[in-house]
Each structure stands twice: as C-alpha cells, then as structure tokens.
Structure 1
C-alpha cells in the first residue's frame, strides 16, 4: 500500500469546499434505478469534469464521532472516474476494493488540513495480461488531482503544502 498525505496550512472548510466542487454520482442515481444506460453514460462523462473524477460517496466520520462525545473535522470522500472504474470492475470484480479511491480529509491541531489517500499494491493487476496496474491508474489520477489542487507545488493548498510517500507522515 502507498499512503499519499498532503499537509497544508489551508483551513479544513476551504479544502473540503474545493473537493466538493467535483461532480457527484448522486446526480446519476435516478438513471441507475431506471436502467437508463444512455443517460447514465452521458451523465458519467459530464460529471467527470476536467479531472475525470467524481464523488461517489461521502462518509461523515467526524460527525459520527459524536458517539464518542465530540464531533471532529474529518470526512472521507470516495472519489474516482466512473467510466474507468466500470472498465476495471468489468474485467476483475475485485477492483471494487480499490475503486473508487478513498480520500480522508481532516483538520490538524495547527489549523491546517491533511488530505490523505491510500493506494493499493502495485501487484494488483487489472487482469493477468495487463501491463497497467490499478495502482498505476489510481496513483496517476490522485497525484494529478492533488497537484492541480496545489498539493505538490503549494499553489492552492498553501505554500507549505507537502506530499508524503509510502509509510511516511510529514508534520508541519
């Protein structure tokens, strides 16, 4: 597994707002229920936008921490490309373990935010004969998106944004 962690001084609410600009699978659920494949296909391309990514689901982990006494700024987004995820799971249903990608966003004690993602093993092949791995596809898309959002070059996430690699956490 490869852990990508971006450390940014930007506020949680700002990072969350930027991510939530992505298209949403929710817009397509009516087409799934009615089995309107053509509208689903067109909608999937439309919501993918510039990055090719859309939010599939949102897990409100921070709100659920109320069960432990206090909510926190913590949320998980299931983000991916609907068309490529469908291609992968059509070839190997186990690809559903990795697509869509989970991105956890949480506030740190210094007022900044840590968006994090965990990518699957490079040994996870789309199919036995395929040279491309699930890891390659996800890593490229996640890195591209994080870079566009300023994760690696600091433009939008903040000047001190850093990207961490396998097994490492970098703290401000």
Structure 2
C-alpha cells in the first residue's frame, strides 16, 4: 500500500467553476429512424489515413485530403456509438445512436484561438426512435457551447457551424 501524505495546500491544482447557458435543439423527423439515420450516414466518414499524412508532416496533403473528404456539407462523421445496443444490459435494445460530427479545418480555426474549444469539437448529435416510430435528433447549438469562451473569433466560426449542422440535420429529417 502507498503511504498517504497530507497534501501541501500550496501545491494543489487550482480549479474554477462557471455556469454556461446551452441552447438545446430537438428536431422531430417526418421520417422513420432507419431512413433518417441512413440519410445522415451519407455524410462522409473520416479517413484515418489522413492522420498518417499528418504524422509524416505532409501538411499540404493533409489540408487537401480534409477539403476533399468533407464533401458538400462541409462535415464528416468521426464516430458512431450505438447506445441503444447497450440498453439490453438493463432492459431491451432501443434505436438510439450518437454521432460525433465535425470538420477538422473548422475546429482548428477555433482551437487555435482557444484550446479549450476542443472540448466541444467535433460535435455530438443523438438520433433516436421516438414514441411515434419516427426519428428525433437532438444536439446543442455550437455557438452556445463555444460562446462561453468569450472569444469573438471562436464564436464567429461557431455561428457558421450552427447553420452548417442545422442544414445537414434538417435534410436528414425530411
């Protein structure tokens, strides 16, 4: 067992707490869960080979690959977490999935000015089958999340992201 020492108060990490307002958006689709999800998954998926280019210092190739992959919507899916599968541990499987969606070129525009912006980039979106059998999409408005940093350059980029993500999700829902 490790000896327990009394911590020196001068050596404790400094912590702070702030409260932020989050604008939460819910979109009730007119389509089924399966159709909404299929439409959303037409977004390009991130290609990890781009990371290899980055590791080799091929920055121009990285930028080119990122611009190419993002497609018309300017967004890519980084990961998909099928939360509904895990519900069978305690009840029964449900149709609910979380997407991590974003754009590396957009997120770096924010994180270069505010490293803590990486907490919210890329964005998380949840899609689930609601009581009527259609899909519901929920997410937090990017400009509200990123606006907490009080950096006009970050908030400006986030406002553009507001529209980009909203447009993609409305298309998926209709």
Distance 1:35 1:75, change over 3 A: farther
> Which runs of structure 1 show a deviation greater than 6 angstroms over 4 or more consecutive aligned residues?
none
Q: Secondary structure at the match of 2:67?
A: helix
Greater helix percent: which structure? Answer: 2
Contact 1:98–1:119 under 8 Å retained in 2: no
Q: CA RMSD in A?
A: 2.4
2:47 to 23, 26, 47: 26
Aligned: 1:141 with 2:141? no
**What residue ranges of structure 2 are gaps of 5+ in the alignment?**
1-21
Query: What is the Cα deviation at residue 138 of structure 1?
Result: 2.9
Aligned to 1:44: 66
Structure with max Cα Rg: 2
Q: Secondary structure at the match of 1:21?
A: coil
TM-score (norm 1): 0.75
Of structures 1 and 2, the one with the larger relative CO (CA 8 A, separation 6+) is 1
Aligned: 1:88 with 2:107? no
- Give the length in aligned residue pairs: 150
Give the alignment of 1:1-172 within 5 angstroms: 1-27=22-48, 28-120=50-142, 121=144, 123-125=147-149, 127=151, 130=153, 132-133=155-156, 135-147=158-170, 149=171, 151=173, 157=174
Distance 1:86 1:113, change over 3 A: same
User: Which stretch of structure 1 is more off in the superposition, 26-35 or 91-100?
Assistant: 26-35
